[in-house]
Amino acid sequence: MELDQGLVREVQLFDEYRSKQIPEGFRSLSLHIVLQDQEKTLTDERARQLMNSVQKTLIEKYEIRLR
C-alpha cells in the first residue's frame, strides 16, 4: 500500500536520544504523527495500515532502522 500523504496532517520530532548504545553517526528519534481523514473516521485497521505505510516510506526513503 502506498502512503496517502494527504492523511498525514502533522509530524513533529519530540525526542532525540544519544548514548553509547546508539552507534556513532546515528541518532534515536521519536516522532509524533497525526493522521486525519477529512471525509470519514479512521478505523483502527486503517490507522495501522497508514502507520505501516509511514514506516515503509521512512525505511525506503531515509534508510531508517526501527528500534
From CA 37, how far away is CA 64, in angstroms rounded? 26
Asked, for residue 21, whether it belongs to a domain, the answer is yes
The cell numbers describing 48, all together, are 495501522
Q: pLDDT, tens digit, for every residue of 11-65?
A: 999 999 988 888 888 889 999 999 999 999 999 999 999 999 999 988 999 889 8
Separation between Cα atoms, residue 41 and residue 23, nearest integer Å: 41
What pLDDT was estimated at residue 67?
Answer: 76
* pLDDT at res. 1: 57
Domain assignment present for residue 29? The answer is: yes
Structural domain count, the chain:
1
Q: Report pLDDT for 19.
A: 86
Q: Do the domain assignments include residue 67?
A: no
Grid look-up 528519534 returns 29
Residue 31 lies in a domain: yes
Please report, as a single letter, which amino acid is at residue 62.
Y
Mean pLDDT on 3-10: 85
pLDDT at 10 (0 to 100): 93
CA distance 28 to 26: 7
Determine the structural domain holding residue 51 and report its residue range.
5-62
Threshold 0.85, pTM exceeds? no
Examine residue 45 and state whether it is found in any structural domain, yes or no.
yes
